[in-house]
Amino acid sequence: MKAKQQYFYNALLLTAVTLLMRTVSVAFNVYISGKVGAEAMGLLSLIGGVYGFAITLATSGIHLATVRTVAERLGRTGGADNGRCLRVCLAYALFFSSLATMLLLLLARPIGLYALRDARTVRALYMLALTLIPIAVTTVFNGYFTAVRRAFKNAIVQVSEQAIKISLTVYLLLAFAPKTVEGSILAILLGGAIAESASLFHNLVLYALDKRRHKVKNAKKSSDIIHVAPVALPVAISAYMRSGLLTIEHILIPRGLQRYGSGNSAALAAYGTLQGMALPVVLYPAAILSSFSALLIPEVTEQSTRKNHMEIRYIAGRAYQMALLFSVGTAAVMLSLSSELGTVLYGNAEAGRFIARLAPLIPVMYLDTATDALLKGLGEQVYSMNVNILDASVSVIAVLILVPLMGINGYIVTIYITEILNAALSICRLLKVSGYRPKISKLLFRPLAAAIGAALLGYLSFELLVPAPICNGGTLTLHIVTLILFYLVLLFPCGGLQISDIQWLGRSLFSKKGGQESTA
């Protein structure tokens, strides 16, 4: 199978699975929010800030290091060093995850009582500490399967983990019916903890089968040292600082809301509505793009190793084209149907208002995802480290200043500032190191014109011809599908999409040979 075809098949598989998992996750999130309430969602987000830093320490950049190390060795030795690479990566992951587990167990009580200022978080942090080693090891296997282009194994693990997590969580909530916010949170986290352990077991089984069925013949082993730390540690240092700053930010938000005039419960509820309800909806479609972006890393790494600059520019052009076509259309749907999304999904008008305020930022957020993957493939993780640290630092300062003055709207403004700053700096770096020169008119303005036209046609079709309010999932789905169809149709007359693009996609998927053509 050609490398380009294999990339697309793996990406389509991961996209389908990730989209399914994200759909289930959002539906599960809707169920949980309805079951435990906005205050519990806010408390979960608060705990998640600390847990996120613990995971960052436990993984310490090992996913990217595994992908890059295995991909590079694959090109040099044809896969003979795969086992050796994996063992080095696992040793690295076990060291840092054991350290993170010990630290979280020791510091759970002081963090809960003095940093989060809520005793209900202490037992939750103890429980989450036990998941860090399984998460780190699973991350290594995920990177390995990505690098060797066997994405279906990652898909199997994702599906099984999500199924176990949801089944156990629903069972615990129904069987024990916790009467307190803390009890509900512990039930939710316990289901996730058991699912993480199950994922580790599944990965071990899948790797054992992979090792037996994909033995490398006539491959020459390399005797030089496999370097993981030089790739992982720059990413890890960036992640430590950024995750630490984000943890501080998440702690400061409820406090800032209280200074603005909200009580503790109200502050947690507003924070939970934005962080636990609106943001998951806004980021839900990113599942489609993130799968393609994740698989860009080994593709670009191989081309960078071969110094094939023309192919790198070509990949960057197609990645930007797909990212902006997708994200502009997504933003139009979110903005047009924000109120309906909040009402139908959560029965919460405020969630809909938050979705509307975040929707214009979607193209920036999604494009930054693709840019970040391209930069990592080109070995620019040190630059990304500096940008991420700057991003997080600005975010903490903005939260300190804006949230006490503007309330939850101050946090939304903070998200805009940091996302635009991060994307702008990353894009400038990519253009410099790759030599890629995008055509802004085709990439952005033409899809934007199609999106505006689709939104207007959607309004005329549903608000004027069928003025009945959207009150259920079926009607909302019909509206979304109609807007997407309008957008796709209008892309052609607007020039955002051409017949040559469709032909390119067909050749990438089905043709045994086919050249490259210039893109945006």
3-state secondary structure 130-151: CCHHHHHHHHHHHHHHHHCCCH
Report pLDDT for 282.
92
| 303: Cβ contacts below 8 Å, ≥ 6 apart | 311, 312, 315, 377
Report pLDDT for 321.
87
Alpha helices of 148-228 — where are they, by DSSP H? 151-176, 181-213
Report pLDDT for 452.
93
Q: What CA–CA distance (Å, rounded) separates 157 from 199?
A: 6
Collapse the DSSP code of 439 into the 3-class scheme (helix H, G, I; strand E, B; otherwise coil) and give the result: coil
- DSSP string covering 9-67: HHHHHHHHHHHHHHHHHHHHHHHHHHHH-HHHHHHHHHHHHHHHHHHHHHHTTHHHHHH
- Name the residue type at position 251: I
Q: Which pair of tokens denotes residue 267?
A: 């502050």
Domain locations in the chain?
Answer: 3-213+226-438
How far from the centroid of its chain's Cα atoms is residue 177's Cα?
32
Q: Which pair of tokens denotes residue 124?
A: 């939750």
- pLDDT by residue for the chain (520 residues), tens only, comes to 455 556 556 666 666 777 777 777 778 878 888 787 777 888 888 898 899 999 999 999 898 888 888 877 776 666 667 778 888 899 999 999 999 999 999 999 999 998 888 888 999 999 999 999 999 999 999 888 888 777 677 778 888 888 899 899 888 888 877 778 888 888 889 988 899 888 888 888 888 887 766 555 555 555 455 778 887 887 788 788 888 888 898 888 888 888 887 777 787 788 888 988 898 899 888 877 776 776 677 778 777 777 888 888 888 888 888 889 999 999 999 999 998 899 888 888 899 999 999 999 999 999 998 898 888 888 887 788 789 889 989 999 999 999 999 999 999 999 999 999 999 999 999 999 888 888 888 888 999 999 999 999 988 887 766 666 666 778 888 889 999 999 999 998 988 877 777 766 665 555 544 445 544 5
Report pLDDT for 221.
58
Report pLDDT for 412.
94
Q: What CA–CA distance (Å, rounded) separates 309 from 312?
A: 5
Q: Is 246 within 8 Å of 51 (Cβ atoms)? A: no
Q: Which pair of tokens denotes residue 113?
A: 């009582």
Instruction: Give the CB-side neighbour count of residue 376, counting CA atoms within 13 A.
Output: 28
Report pLDDT for 277.
86
Report pLDDT for 513.
47
347 secondary structure, DSSP code: S
Residue 227 region, left (φ>0) first, then alpha (ψ -120 to 50), else beta?
Answer: beta
| 363: Cβ contacts below 8 Å, ≥ 6 apart | 324, 327, 328, 331, 444
Closest CA to 326 of 151, 496, 109, 89: 496
Q: What CA–CA distance (Å, rounded) separates 55 from 38?
A: 25
Note the pTM of the prediction, 2 decimals.
0.74
Q: Specify the residue for token string 């906005």.
A: 38
Q: What CA–CA distance (Å, rounded) separates 317 from 206?
A: 35
Instruction: Give the CB-side neighbour count of residue 9, counting CA atoms within 13 A.
Output: 13
